[in-house]
Amino acid sequence: MAEKKAFVTGHPIAHSRSPKIHGYWLKQYGIDGSYEAIDVAPDDFASFLKALGDNGFRGGNVTIPHKEAAFAGVARRDDAADAIGAVNTLWFEDGLLWGGNTDGYGFAANLDQYAPGWAVNGPAVVLGAGGASRAVIHALKARGVKDIRIVNRTVARAEELGRHFGAGISAHGADALGELLGDAGLLVNTTSLGMHGNETLAADPGALPDHAIVTDIVYVPLETPLLAAARARGLKTVDGLGMLLHQAVPGFERWFGRKPEVTPELRRMIVADIEG
């Protein structure tokens, strides 16, 4: 059988860690397949999508700035993509191009691995109301978290997400944070604050109860200022790298026919790359 081919596309794409992740699994499982990074300019994305099947691809990943164009350009979407409003994974099914979104899956699987029981730990406070926040809120809802509090600098964006996702979601400005944390079981940062080169995040985990879990979707650095403060306070913390690794799982399974494992060795390899 012909080599199974997949890709990740973005613009730029050179920084993507996805080829390392999928390359590791292809080797690990001895699969006759390839996974390459392809830089596609926004103007060329629609024709790139149309030519996928003819070029022999089984599917691939889509990242910035193509996630919304992919959402609009596929023939069918899964429920997660519809809820999140963006597509990060493409595959063919019965001759049709499908688009899915695995970011919420990756978020939940990361917490399942490092903080089992997280979904029944109490109300969740989500910092930020952008694309990443949508994926996190979708996952929280899917896992039955009943009280989700979105906190954002621009309250109107949080309110819009509240309307989009419906019951159980409340929207707040940054001033309300201290009060909202008092009985929370989970604090999630979805903003880019705390990423290398950006300002740090002013959220003070001190107000959280002792059983709370704190997680960040930022993974460069692995321990963000928020996670460091939470750890110093004695709280359980989960870094964002596992979300990146786990979000790759469903795509690999669809294109290459085997559900891959997020192993400590894979994690060590990507950590070395980040710290490299």
- 154 contacts ligand ATR (rule: CB under 6 A): yes
Cα–Cα distance between 23 and 148 in angstroms, integer?
37
Residue by residue, DSSP assigns 104-150 as: HHHHHHHHHHHSTTGGGSS-EEEE--SHHHHHHHHHHHHTT---EEE
- 85 contacts ligand ATR (rule: CB under 6 A): no
Cα–Cα distance between 142 and 73 in angstroms, integer?
25
Cα–Cα distance between 190 and 133 in angstroms, integer?
6
Smaller CB distance to ligand ATR: residue 195 or 213?
195
Minimum distance of ligand ATR from residue 156's CB (angstroms)? 8
**HSE of 250 in the Cβ direction (CA atoms, 13 Å)?**
20
- 157 contacts ligand ATR (rule: CB under 6 A): yes
Query: Is 67 in the active site?
Result: yes
CA torsion sign, 39 to 43 to 45 to 51?
A: negative
Smaller CB distance to ligand ATR: residue 194 or 260?
194
Number of residues that bind ligand ATR (CB under 6 A): 15
Taking a C-beta distance cutoff of 8 angstroms, is the pair 140, 122 a contact?
Answer: no
239 labeled part of a ligand binding site: no
**HSE of 232 in the Cβ direction (CA atoms, 13 Å)?**
10
Q: Which of 190, 224, 237, 247 is in the footprint of ligand ATR by CB under 6 A?
A: 190
34 labeled part of a ligand binding site: no
Number of neighbours of residue 56 by Cβ within 10 angstroms: 10
129 labeled part of a ligand binding site: yes
- 191 contacts ligand ATR (rule: CB under 6 A): yes
16 labeled part of a ligand binding site: yes
- 63 contacts ligand ATR (rule: CB under 6 A): no
Binders of ligand ATR in range 128-147 (CB under 6 A): 128-133
**Residues noted as catalytic:** 67
Q: Which residues are annotated as a binding site for NADP(+)?
A: 79, 128-132, 152-157, 217, 240
Q: Residues interacting with ligand ATR, by CB under 6 A?
A: 128-133, 152-154, 157, 190-193, 199
Q: Which residues are annotated as a binding site?
A: 16-18, 63, 79, 88, 103, 128-132, 152-157, 217, 219, 240, 247
